[in-house]
């Protein structure tokens, strides 16, 4: 049981990196970016391919992140330069990445069972596998939000946030909003790919289909985090994303434990997100009804 | 200061919705000019200000700010010269960000942004002083998000933001229209104070004829994309709303819109 809890939290920590990527586009830039469905397996594919070539795990993760950034740049350019709506730009990138990922791996599935990973390289800590994942996840899930907190507090980071908030205003303040959208998408997809690289190493394989539902899982984590842990300020929002990601994994573990078939997980998550997204409307209706009473 | 030479703008050219919003408009402003702009709905007031701000490119004509040809310059580049306040109080600020963050962004209008921290401690002190001068109790709300403020408070902050770095040109597009009369009066007083203190060259659109006469040293009346009346200094100072309406009709203006009469 303890092992199960540790493993669930560890999963949440690794996935939180992806959720932070989704947070950047969905909340900070205020656009729904579906390219993450492609950049998540891209990260896994790039890392797996490099690890199979005996590349150092840390280098493989960095390379995965860079590949994700490139994917984000493609979406960003489609959106800002070619004026393709953000949703469509993301879908195009996602579909294109499916082929790219197959090319990167050379096949649909690449096993990592006999290669070194970031987790096997931590074996010197002499911890159980789950605890090792937990420690690695914790380091990453603390370091990245700290870095994001710094970045979004800088002049450029504040301009990115303002761009998502009110592009008209920030243009009037002299900022090229196209550049800011591009930067945000690059950053977001880079994080999502890093998360993909971590999850692939944790799972012991990379699969071309591992990205299905990424956006929904990301949204679920972001929204659960917001509802339960708050959005008082930017720092609070960032922490909420990480905690939301962990909480989402716990919810999933519980429903599986209660006997829900794993095949229904995506349906369950989609319904969860649909409910969460409609909460503001439901709440407003409810409040107005209460006033009428 | 600002020189507009025969600019024209047609929206949806070549379609059934074709609408010529500006017809060969020319205007020259001297440094320190405070021009009020009036005109009925759809007269082209906002279009004129947006053309100057670079929201869109004009079809023909030239725009100069301080002898720099900005006709083809992108909106965000022109922002280095221009401070703007919009009609919609939501529009001028990043509503999800704190008052302090909005001011910090405004303090960097037109500057190249870096990876330095978004605002410095000494700036916070300066912002606080300037907010205190607005007399709206905003100096204690530095850490509040803009959404939590009233429309009047937001417009006052937007005005402060537009002028935090002295702009060569201040564009105000009916910036008090969405406020209740008392708040509108307060924001107008603030406007006058800030414009005078900084000797700002200002274009202020209003639908209120009395305000248009009360403020500024020059008055433009737009009608159907053209400047119908251009009244300067002494003449403007002596003018009443009645005179203005008479002048409007004499110069062949169409029916004065209800909106203008009522205000
Ligand atoms: N972005 C746009 N796209 C299409 N048509 C526009 C656009 N902006 C303005 N117009 C049209 O141009 C004409 C002038 O509009 P403008 O907004 O300049 O009027 P205004 O004088 O500011 O009026 P109001 O007092 O209602 O604000 C109107 O017919 C309007 O419909
Ligand atoms: Mg207007």
How many CB atoms sit inside 10 A of residue A267's CB?
Answer: 11
Domain boundaries, chain B: 2-81+167-262
In this prediction, residue A2 carries a pLDDT of 83
Q: Is the CB of A156 less than 8 angstroms away from the CB of B106? A: no
Spatial contact of B49 and B231, defined as CB atoms under 8 Å apart: no
Which whole number is the average pLDDT over A82-97? 97
Q: How far is A246 from chain B (nearest CA, A)?
A: 26
Q: Of the bound ligands, which one is closest to the alpha carbon of residue B42?
A: 1
How confident is the model over B119-167, as pLDDT tens digits?
888 999 999 999 999 989 999 999 999 999 999 999 999 999 999 999 9
In this prediction, residue A291 carries a pLDDT of 65
Which whole number is the average pLDDT over B50-56? 97
Reading the block at residue A31, the tokens are: 């656009």
Mutate which of B10, B47, B227 for ligand 1 pocket (most atoms within 8 A of beta carbon): B47
Chain centroid to CA A259: 27
Compare B53 and A282 and report the one with higher pLDDT. Answer: B53
Residue B263 in this model has a pLDDT that exceeds 90 = no
Residues 6 or more apart in contact with residue B147 via CB below 8 angstroms:
B95, B96
How many CB atoms sit inside 10 A of residue A289's CB?
Answer: 9
CA B20 vs CA B52, B60, B168: distances in Å: 16, 12, 28
The β-bridge relationship of strands A109-111 and B2-11 is: unpaired
How confident is the model over A186-228, as pLDDT tens digits?
999 999 999 999 999 999 999 999 999 999 999 999 999 999 9
Sheet containing B60-65: order of strands: B19-29, B2-11, B60-65, B68-69
| B240 CB near ligand 1 (under 6 Å) | no
Q: What percent of chain A has pLDDT over 70?
A: 98
Nearest to A104 by CA among A210, A236, A238, A223: A210
Q: In a 10 Å sphere around its CB, with 0-12 CB exposed, 13-18 middle and 19+ buried, how is residue B189 labelled? A: exposed
Which atom belonging to ligand 1 lies closest to the Cα atom of B47? 18
Helical (H) or strand (E) element with B25: strand B19-29
How confident is the model over A240-287, as pLDDT tens digits?
999 999 999 999 999 999 999 999 999 999 998 998 888 878 878 887
| Whether this model's pTM surpasses 0.80 | yes
Mutate which of B46, B57, B88, B256 for ligand 1 pocket (most atoms within 8 A of beta carbon): B46
Nearest to B163 by CA among B212, B110, B106: B106
CA A189 vs CA A25, A243, A261, A273, B188: distances in Å: 9, 20, 31, 21, 46
Give me the residues paired with residue B21 across strands. Answer: none
Q: Of the bound ligands, which one is closest to the alpha carbon of residue B40?
A: 1
- pLDDT category at A142 given cuts 50, 70, 90 is very high
- Cα separation of B152 and B85, whole Å? 12
Q: What percent of chain A has pLDDT over 90?
A: 88
**Residue with the nearest Cα to atom 28 of ligand 1?**
B42
Q: What residue ranges define each of the domains in chain A, with the CATH number in brackets?
A: 2-292 (1.10.3470)
B interface test, pick of A30, A160, A169 with most B CB neighbours within 10 Å: A169
- Cα separation of A176 and B138, whole Å? 29
Q: B206 CA to middle of ligand 1, Å? A: 14
What class does CATH assign to B2-81+167-262? alpha beta
Which one of A153, A173, A174 has the shortest CB-CB distance to B118?
Answer: A153
Interface check B74 vs A, CB under 8 A: yes
Nearest to A161 by CA among A183, A144, A145: A183
């Amino acid at each position: 049981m303890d092992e199960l809890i540790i493993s669930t939290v560890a999963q949440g920590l690794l996935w939180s990196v992806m959720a932070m990527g989704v947070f950047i586009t969905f909340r900070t830039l205020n656009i729904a970016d579906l390219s993450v469905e492609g950049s998540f397996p891209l990260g896994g594919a790039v890392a797996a391919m490099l690890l199979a070539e005996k590349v150092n795990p840390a280098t493989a993760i960095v390379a995965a992140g860079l590949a994700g950034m490139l994917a984000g740049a493609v979406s960003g350019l489609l959106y800002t330069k070619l004026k393709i709506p953000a949703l469509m730009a993301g879908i195009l990138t996602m579909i294109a990445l499916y082929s790219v990922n197959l090319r990167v791996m050379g096949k649909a599935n690449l096993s990592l069972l006999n290669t070194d990973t970031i987790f096997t390289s931590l074996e010197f800590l002499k911890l159980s596998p789950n605890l090792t994942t937990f420690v690695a996840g914790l380091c990453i899930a603390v370091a990245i939000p700290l870095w994001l907190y710094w970045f979004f507090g800088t002049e450029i980071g504040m301009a990115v946030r303002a761009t998502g908030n009110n592009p008209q205003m920030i243009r009037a303040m002299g900022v090229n909003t196209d550049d800011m959208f591009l930067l945000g998408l690059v950053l977001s997809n880079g994080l999502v790919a890093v998360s993909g690289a971590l999850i692939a190493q944790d799972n012991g394989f990379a699969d071309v289909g591992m990205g299905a539902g990424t956006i929904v899982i990301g949204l679920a984590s972001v929204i659960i985090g917001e509802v339960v842990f708050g959005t008082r300020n930017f720092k609070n929002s960032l922490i909420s994303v990480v905690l939301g990601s962990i909480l989402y994994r716990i919810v999933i573990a519980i429903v599986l434990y209660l006997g829900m078939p794993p095949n229904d997980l995506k349906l369950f998550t989609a319904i969860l997100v649909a409910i969460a997204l409609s909460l503001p409307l439901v709440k407003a209706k409810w409040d107005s009804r209460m006033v009428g009473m | 200061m600002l020189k507009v030479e025969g600019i024209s703008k047609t929206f949806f050219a070549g379609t059934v919705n074709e609408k010529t919003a500006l017809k060969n408009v020319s205007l020259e402003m001297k440094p320190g000019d405070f021009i009020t702009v009036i005109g009925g709905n759809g007269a082209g007031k906002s279009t004129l200000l947006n053309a100057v701000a670079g929201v869109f490119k004009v079809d023909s004509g030239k725009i100069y700010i301080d002898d720099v040809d900005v006709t083809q310059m992108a909106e965000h580049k022109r922002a280095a010269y221009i401070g703007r306040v919009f009609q919609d109080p939501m529009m001028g600020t990043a509503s999800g960000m704190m008052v302090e963050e909005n001011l910090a962004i405004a303090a960097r209008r037109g500057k190249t942004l870096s990876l330095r921290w978004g605002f410095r401690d000494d700036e916070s002190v300066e912002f606080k002083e300037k907010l205190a001068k607005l007399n709206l109790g905003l100096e204690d709300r530095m850490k509040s998000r803009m959404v939590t403020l009233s429309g009047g408070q937001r417009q006052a902050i937007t005005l402060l933001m537009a002028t935090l770095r002295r702009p060569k040109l201040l564009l105000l597009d009916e910036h008090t229209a969405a406020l209740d009369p008392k708040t509108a009066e307060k924001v107008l007083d603030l406007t006058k104070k800030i414009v005078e203190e900084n000797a700002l060259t200002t274009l202020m659109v209003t639908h209120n004829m009395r305000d248009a006469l009360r403020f500024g040293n020059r008055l433009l009346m737009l009608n159907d994309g053209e400047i119908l009346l251009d009244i300067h200094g002494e003449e403007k100072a002596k003018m009443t709303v009645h005179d203005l309406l008479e002048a409007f009709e004499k110069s062949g203006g169409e029916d004065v819109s209800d909106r203008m009469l009522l205000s």
